[in-house]
Structure formats: structure tokens, C-alpha cells
Structure 1
């Protein structure tokens, strides 16, 4: 067994890796797609899709609680945990199956079942895959290499005392039944989504965080509203201190000091670590590449080319920890594949407007630049806002809670970004991301059609207030004459 020579080697067959493969394949047949773990993207196996499969029944059950307010009595809503998890697993496997079908349709001589590490800048040393498959050769020599190895959950050492009762989101979706109680550590997107979903499915949940933040919100006003809404529904300790974990039989005991300064202890069946993710680059022997690495061990790269320095190596998707969401990973895979194929010619690509959604209820969403980014960059911006509490359509549907804030640039009147928590805000975030990417001014966006009565009218109210704050428009009306303020 010797070295296999290729033009392009791609390490990782997830979303970014497969996108890179399809682009590179257009230019060369000398290509290797290397994967040592399970096929099926992070999104399909343990992230986007299975988490929404758990969120969906939780949301449906929660909606039953509003029926009496509409004048409808119902005794439905009993949770069958085994049935809930059976559907989650079956639908998850269905989504993973689609990805496996795509892999099986690839040119199989390009697929290498193996783990790879760098022996030198152009040589990858191979070892058997997780399933024991031994590669047909010991090494791959590649003119260009794309790193698309994805990421994995980060587990702080302080949580490991939970032993086999310590789980990550990957484990949740293999449950046969719902447990009685879970301590969720991490108040970011994963922790909030799963914590609220489990709570609504009759699992006793306590959400623990550090520093007082929730769901990644940086705007203080939106964050305060989000904390009030989400932490009224389920127990939260968003700045838990003096936290200590211990095992007591089959239970996990969490000792902590709450926000009131009181020492407390609670017992749980499981401890779910939702404390972020780390890039899978630490086992690639990157020290043998000569690449400059940052403090996290990730190669320094240009986000508009995905090129590491001026080298022949490119890095895409969660592996670079820049924009760890599926559509960005796919975009980066295409960019890396194109540039690896054209190297040494490397082309810069305009990135899409940032868009993020947390599928809690109400939904948290971000579009464009966040409050924190604008503040850090010392941008001169104004803010417009609308509360959903009295927004007409939201009130009709009894989903009237939340706050939307939009940001505009003083000098140009351009709409720059938004942060929000509110009903069905995934749709508002998409609309805002589109108009921001089109570089529309606040005044231009207000001229777009707004139907009545819809939640989007709340966005128009926020934009009118923003235009006034920018000194570019008349005093905004107090609301729709038919449906009250914030319509």
C-alpha cells in the first residue's frame, strides 16, 4: 500500500464537504472525499431536524393551554413519551437516509472510508474508519486540501462528575422515552430550544447559564424581554455561581448559588450539556501543515475565499467556527470547492447577510448586524422597536408577547440589522435579511406592501419609529385605527 495521488482531497463528508465535492468534481476527476465517521450531516443526525421534531410536539401541546381563552374546553394533551421519541427517531432516520442516498450516488471510487491526519502540507496519513473499514492505501497526496470536519459538543470538565448521566444533544434523539427531569447547562440556542421543548412535554427542567445571557441575544432590551418570557415559563438560573455536580445513585445533584445569593441543590435524572460546540480540527495534526493557527487551534483563513493564509489548504463549514449554520456551511463548501479547483487563482465571494433563528416559543431571531456588532464597530445607528403585546394580529391569536428592535445607519438611512423575540419571527427575520442584503434604506422598506391584519405590520411600526429616530420621516402613527397600537 502506497500513496494515492489526487488533485483535491476533502476531509469530511458533511454539508460543507459534500458541497465542496460537487463543485470540485466539475473541474477534476482526481478527487478524494474522506470520511471516518457516520455519514449523514450534523443537521440531519443531531441538530436542525431532530431538534425541530422535538420542538413540534412540545409547541402543539402548549397551544392546547390557550384553548380555554378562546372559549374551547379540551382534556387532550397527555404526553406519551415513548410515542414522542419514536416519531423523533423515525423521522430523524428518514432525513439521515436522504443524505446516505446522496453519498451512495457519488462516484464510489472517490469516497475514502478513513480518518485522515496531516503528515506534511500535502500528505494525509489514513487510519481505519469508525466502522473498522481499512483504507486501500496508507496515504493520500493532494495538490489542494479542503478541511470540512465539522464540530462536536463542547463539554466542560466541571460537568463530567455526572458520569453516564451526562448527555449532549446527540444523545437526546436516541432516547426511547422521555425522562422525569433534566438539568440543562447552557442558555444558548441549543439549551433554550431543547430545554423549553422538554419542559412543555412534562419533563422537569432547570436551565443553567453563565453571565445572564439567553439565546445569544445581545440587545439589552430584547434580552430583558426574552428572559421575562422564557424564564417565567420554566425555571432558569442564568448566572448560576459556585456550581458543583455530584452523583447520588442514579441521580445527578446540582449544587449552585442562585441570583438571590442562596445556596440550593436539585436532583435530576440527566444533565444535558448544551455548552457550545468546538471545531473538529484538534486531531488533524495541523502542526505539520505550517499553517498559522489561532488560539483555538483553527487555521487563520479569509472568510471570503476560505483559503488558509496563501496556502493550498481551504477550510469550510463548522470546522472554521465562523458561521455554524447549515446554509452557511453549504455556501462555504461551494466556495472552498470552487477555489480549490481554480487554485492558485482564488476568487473572493460576497457573503450572504447573516441570519439566525432560535426555535423556542416565541422565536428569537437575528438578521444583519447585531446590536453588539454595531456597538463594537462604533457604527452611528438609531433604533426603532415594537412590542408584540398590543400588536393586532398577535393579540387576536393570543401570541402577543415579545419585542422587535431594528437598527438603521444615521449617515445613509440604510437598514443594518435586527434582533427580536416574538411570534413566528422566523418569517420577519427572513424578510429583514433579504432587504438588508439588497441594501435598502429604512424609507424604501416602509414603501413595500404590508397586508392587514398580519404580524408583519408590527415590523412596519418599528421601521416607522426608526425612520423618525434617524430624522428622516414624519412622526409615526400610534397604530392601526382598526386594531390598536403596534399594528
Structure 2
């Protein structure tokens, strides 16, 4: 039996694994970076980057519909699906190439192309993969003093969807299309479902989005969620709370029978069923029963999010495999933290995490910063709410993007800004501003004193903060409207 002894073994070479590798490499040359699939992070291959490449032309075409309101004649914009998907694939491959270039810059002796699973708490058993040849076929086992789990995640496929056979796809498949299809049933009203469903609709694909239990884009604030549901339903076919859903296959067609949100019985046929019903951690492929790790309800190792250390103190976990905050910048942070602590073990340091930040690149955009409404309610936090509608907000009306609702939350007693949930224009920027001031532990009153230019969309945030400050009992009643442009700034 051929065994390699290392100080640190990292299972997975995605965003978290690569970030961990950079940290471990500073302390030791005895490393094994084990990857059983293709190089290229989830974000670059099948996530945030290719999805934005599909959203960009969709938004450009949709914007043509607004031009007549400006007094500019415009055609609807004929879509060349082959050209759209050619650019998506080309740019996607370019982003993946950057990741591959980074890996080629690693010490190649550290890289092992194989699947790994636990034989015991310090031993990983290797096996070849279907996709790649094992770089070091003579190595059958890795014995490691410390181990970092960074195996990422994969799309979750509910069992009823499998009835449609090869008409079932996930977001990974979309970005390999050679042309746009005629129709798609999108199941899942989370980030992936809303982004891809709306983009395909705007590119001329017949789409129906099916959600569950009224959920919309992960929004927990009931007022914001209701606004989002109405806004999306006004643009394209959506059923956020369908009942009696039945999925079947008829020849090459996917048939969906259901009771819609208004109680009507419906039956629709589609070319494809796109499963966007969430992702599942790949830790279930690691034979964790051999590791001694204590597992949570979803089979994920229990860990400290401030150290990424598990119940087996020499084992750490990071990125989507931990399913704590499954977005790229958090995966990079977790990999960095796990790598530092694995490298310095048994010295382990706790690090403060960044303020939570999330963005759905729909139109209008959905975003979150800081603590969510549901978290505050469940935590029985004494908080107040301020809000602004963007329907009459000055800059938003000028640009004809005046749809949206922003709600901000502040702590009674301290006046600290705690969080926000929103749907509206330029929310990717507003969410950043809010996250930054929350992380700086600024009060609502202090934020209001910061400069706000006129006319800008950010004035809407100031309106919401003024209302919040009044609700906290820490400021005067806000002015009813902006002198120059009306309610909301």
C-alpha cells in the first residue's frame, strides 16, 4: 500500500480550497490538494459568472421596451439564441481559464487528481475519477495531521423530477446550451430560479416559474416578499404557491399539471424542466462515518463558524460544503480562516465574520444586508422598521426604474442599524453601503449625517433611515418629501 504523509490535506480545489491552500502553503510544503472533478470554481463554471452573462443580454433587450416612454422608437429586439449562448460559453470558459491558470501556479507535486473519502480521522482513501486521470496513481492513501473539507455542493434533484428523464436539467446544463430553447418550466423560486427564469423569459423563451409555500428569492420580510411576488407576477408567468403539482413525460414534452395561485386548474407543456430547488453539500460522498465527526441534521459536520473547526479538532470545513453562507466571498473567507487555523494547529484563532450580504440579480434586484427580518423576530430583538417605496423616488422615476421597496431595521435603545431587506433599483450598491455601515457599528443617526448627493437613488435609503430614526425615538419626524423631487428623495 502506497501512502503519502502530509501536514495538511485539503479536499476540494474550488474557491474555499484554493483560498485554504494559499494560507497553508505559507507554513508547510507537506500539502495534498485533492480534487476529484474539473478545476474551475462553482462561481466561474456554473454559478455567478455565467448566470450574469445570460442576464446581461436579457436586461438589455428588456430595456428596449422602456424606450418609447422616453419618446424613443424601438423595435422589440430580435434574439439570436445561438449568438447569445456562444458568448455565454466563451466568456464562461475565459473565467474558468483564470482559475485553471491559478492552479497551474501551484506546486504540482501538491495536487492529486482523485476522489477522497475518510478511512479514519487522519487517513483519506483515494480512488480514480471518471473525469480525470489520477495524477499520482501509486498513491492509495493520504495520512494527514490536519484535514480541510472544501468539497463544495451540487444541485439538489427532488425525486418526482426524475420522471421526465433526459428532459430534466440543472443550471450547470443551461450554460452549455448551443441555442435557446422554446420553453422551460423552472422549479424553485430562490436565487437561481428567479435569475435564470426571468433572464430566459426576457430572451423570448416561454417560461413558467414554480415556487413553494410563497417563498420569493429568499426574502424573509413579509412586506418585501409580497411586493416582489406582485412585481414578478406582473411581468412573467409565476406560481409561488402552486398546489397539487404533478410532473410527467409525454413524448419529448414535460407536462406540469397544477392548481395555480388563484385556485385554477392548469396544465402546461414544456421542452425542459429546470430544477433550481437548492443545492446539497458534497460531504455525503466522504464516508464521514469513518471520521468520528459529529454531524448536524443535514449530515454536515458541526463546526465553529469563527474558526471553521469541527468536533475533531484537527479537521476543518469551509465553503459550500459547510452550507453556512454559500456565496463566493464567504467561501473565500472561510477557506482563508480554515487554512490559517489548520496551518497553525494546535493554535486556533477565532475571527470575526464580515457582515452578511446577499444579492439576487433579478430586475428589480433583491438584496439583504446584516440581520434578516426573520432572524430579528426569531431572536426576539427589540427593533423598529423604516421603509421607502421607490415608485415615487426622484432618481428612480427619472430613469424609469421606479419599482421597489426597501425596509431597514434598527435596535431600540442603542439606535444601531441592524439590517435590511429590499427589492428595487441599484440594490447591489445600496446593500453594500448598508453592510459597510453595519459592520462599522454606526447608529441610524450617524448614517443620516453622512453625505447624500442629489438626485441619486441612495436618497431613498436616507428616507428610510429618517423614518427608522423617528420610529426609534431618536430623531424628528422626517420631511414628507424632497423639495425638488417628491417622496423618497
Tell me the residue number matched to 1:451.
453
Aligned-residue offset at 1:132: 4.3
Q: Pick the aligned partner of 2:239 from 237, 240, 250.
A: 237
Tell me the residue number matched to 1:259.
261
User: Hey, what's the Cα distance between the residues in 2 that align with 1:56 and 1:124?
Assistant: 43
Instruction: Report the TM-score, using the length of structure 1 for normalisation.
Output: 0.99
Tell me the residue number matched to 2:32.
32
Tell me the residue number matched to 1:379.
381
CA offsets 1:186-242 (integer angstroms, 9 cap, x no match): 000100000000000000000001101100000011111101111110111111111
Aligned-residue offset at 1:260: 2.6
User: Hey, what's the Cα distance between the residues in 2 that align with 1:213 and 1:16?
Assistant: 29
Q: Does the CA contact (< 8 Å) of 1:35 and 1:129 recur in 2?
A: no
> Does the alignment pair 1:88 with 2:88?
yes
Pairing of 1:211-360 with structure 2 (within 5 A): 211-360=213-362
User: Hey, what's the Cα distance between the residues in 2 that align with 1:415 and 1:310?
Assistant: 37
Pairing of 1:401-420 with structure 2 (within 5 A): 401-420=403-422
Q: RMSD of the alignment, in Å?
A: 0.8
Q: Pick the aligned partner of 2:165 from 163, 166, 170.
A: 163
> Helix, strand or coil for the counterpart of 1:155?
coil
CA offsets 1:43-80 (integer angstroms, 9 cap, x no match): 00000000000000000000000000000002251100
Superposition misfits of 4+ residues, deviation over 4 angstroms: none
User: Hey, what's the Cα distance between the residues in 2 that align with 1:104 and 1:138?
Assistant: 23
> Helix, strand or coil for the counterpart of 2:266?
strand
User: Hey, what's the Cα distance between the residues in 1 that align with 2:109 and 2:271?
Assistant: 47
Aligned-residue offset at 1:130: 3.1
Tell me the residue number matched to 2:209.
207
Aligned residues: 487
> Helix, strand or coil for the counterpart of 1:480?
coil
Tell me the residue number matched to 1:191.
193
User: Hey, what's the Cα distance between the residues in 1 that align with 2:201 and 2:254?
Assistant: 18
> Helix, strand or coil for the counterpart of 2:437?
helix
Q: Does the CA contact (< 8 Å) of 1:388 and 1:458 recur in 2?
A: yes
User: Hey, what's the Cα distance between the residues in 2 that align with 1:442 and 1:261?
Assistant: 44
User: Hey, what's the Cα distance between the residues in 1 that align with 2:211 and 2:145?
Assistant: 45
Tell me the residue number matched to 2:6.
6
> Helix, strand or coil for the counterpart of 1:254?
strand
Tell me the residue number matched to 1:103.
103
Q: Does the CA contact (< 8 Å) of 2:66 and 2:400 recur in 1?
A: yes
CA offsets 1:122-154 (integer angstroms, 9 cap, x no match): 000001133341333000000000000000000
Q: Comparing 241-250 with 272-281, which one deviates more in the overlay?
A: 241-250
Aligned-residue offset at 1:303: 0.4
> Helix, strand or coil for the counterpart of 2:285?
coil
Instruction: Report the TM-score, using the length of structure 2 for normalisation.
Output: 0.99
Q: Does the CA contact (< 8 Å) of 1:253 and 1:266 recur in 2?
A: yes
User: Hey, what's the Cα distance between the residues in 1 that align with 2:230 and 2:457?
Assistant: 21
Unaligned runs of 5+ in 1: none
CA offsets 1:412-463 (integer angstroms, 9 cap, x no match): 0000000000001100000000000000000000011000000000000000
CA offsets 1:28-47 (integer angstroms, 9 cap, x no match): 00000000100000000000
User: Hey, what's the Cα distance between the residues in 1 that align with 2:442 and 2:312?
Assistant: 35
Tell me the residue number matched to 1:421.
423
Tell me the residue number matched to 2:61.
61
User: Hey, what's the Cα distance between the residues in 2 that align with 1:136 and 1:68?
Assistant: 68
Aligned-residue offset at 1:252: 0.3
Tell me the residue number matched to 1:130.
130
User: Hey, what's the Cα distance between the residues in 2 that align with 1:136 and 1:445?
Assistant: 61
Q: Comparing 125-134 with 449-458, which one deviates more in the overlay?
A: 125-134
> Does the alignment pair 1:369 with 2:386?
no
Aligned-residue offset at 1:263: 2.0
Tell me the residue number matched to 2:433.
431
Q: Does the CA contact (< 8 Å) of 2:390 and 2:396 recur in 1?
A: yes
User: Hey, what's the Cα distance between the residues in 2 that align with 1:158 and 1:128?
Assistant: 31
Unaligned runs of 5+ in 2: none
Aligned-residue offset at 1:258: 1.4
Aligned-residue offset at 1:261: 2.5
> Does the alignment pair 1:73 with 2:82?
no
Could you say if the C-alpha distance between residues 484 and 132 of structure 1 is closer, same or farther in structure 2, counting changes exceeding 3 Å? closer
User: Hey, what's the Cα distance between the residues in 2 that align with 1:62 and 1:131?
Assistant: 39
> Helix, strand or coil for the counterpart of 1:357?
strand
User: Hey, what's the Cα distance between the residues in 2 that align with 1:435 and 1:27?
Assistant: 35
Tell me the residue number matched to 2:117.
117
User: Hey, what's the Cα distance between the residues in 2 that align with 1:470 and 1:132?
Assistant: 59
Q: Does the CA contact (< 8 Å) of 1:293 and 1:300 recur in 2?
A: yes
Aligned-residue offset at 1:178: 0.3
